[in-house]
Every structure is written in structure tokens, then in C-alpha cells.
């Protein structure tokens, strides 16, 4: 197992996070998915959040990431959802007319403690084939 550290904490906190567009609409298509992936990578880079695996489906997102426990998973997800919503709705005007807000308020999160990382990565990779 690989550990990370900040100034006063050594950690290994990996999370599988899933969230959906409002009303589970299939709006993550026609270039929105590609731009979303790039935005998530930029945001995570800024805040030192490691993306282990990411898959964007037309109506939901799977993200396997490692987050500093002092930063917090809730703060990370809130930040990613907030900024991506604002930028995508500015860049793709049809999103504003299709749904009142890009994301639902909720999300699924599961710690990846006992499960082998390779199994979780394979599950996320295979979501496109389902």
C-alpha cells in the first residue's frame, strides 16, 4: 500500500464517488464529457487531489480519487461539482435551457479500504461497456 503525507498526517484515503446530472438527464455527450474530464483534472491538480480512475457516462460520473483527510471528501466533491457546473453551463448554453442546474445535490461515496484497488479501477473502466 502506498501512503501520502502532508505536513502532519500520513494517509491513504481513496474514495469511489458517483454523481449524476439533474433528473439523470443524458447531457454528458457531444464534447461536454471531454471538457468535463479536462475540468476535473485541472481542479484536482490545483488542490492536489489524485485521480486514480475516471469514467464519464452520458448520465453519471465515476471517480476514484485520493483526497487528503484534512481537506475532506465532501469539500473536494462540492468544489468539483460547483466549478464544473458553472463552467460547463457558461460554455454550453443548451445545458442551461435543458435543466435548471447541472448536478443533483446528492452523490454516492464509498471508501476503498478493503477492496483491492485494481478491482475498483477495473469496475470503473468497464462502465462504458455495460
Determine whether 123 is an active site residue: yes
Q: What share of the chain is helix, strand, coil (3-state, %, to 5)?
A: 45, 25, 35
Strand partners, 122: none
* Alpha carbon separation from 20 to 45, 60, 61 (Å, rounded): 22, 4, 6
Q: Which of 23, 47, 92, 123 is catalytic?
A: 123
Provide the Cα torsion 12, 55, 104, 47; round to 10°: 40
**Residues tagged active-site:** 123
Amino acid at each position: 500500500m502506498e501512503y501520502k503525507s502532508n505536513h502532519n498526517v500520513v494517509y491513504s484515503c481513496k474514495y469511489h464517488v458517483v454523481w449524476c446530472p439533474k433528473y439523470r438527464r443524458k447531457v454528458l455527450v457531444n464534447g461536454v464529457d471531454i471538457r468535463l474530464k479536462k475540468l476535473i483534472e485541472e481542479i484536482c491538480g490545483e488542490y492536489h487531489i489524485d485521480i486514480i480512475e475516471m469514467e464519464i457516462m452520458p448520465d453519471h460520473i465515476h471517480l476514484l480519487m485520493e483526497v487528503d483527510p484534512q481537506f475532506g471528501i465532501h469539500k473536494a466533491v462540492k468544489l468539483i461539482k460547483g466549478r464544473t457546473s458553472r463552467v460547463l453551463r457558461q460554455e454550453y448554453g443548451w445545458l442551461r435551457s435543458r435543466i435548471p442546474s447541472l448536478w443533483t445535490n446528492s452523490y454516492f461515496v464509498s471508501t476503498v479500504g478493503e477492496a483491492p484497488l485494481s478491482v475498483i479501477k477495473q469496475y470503473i473502466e468497464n462502465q462504458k461497456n455495460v
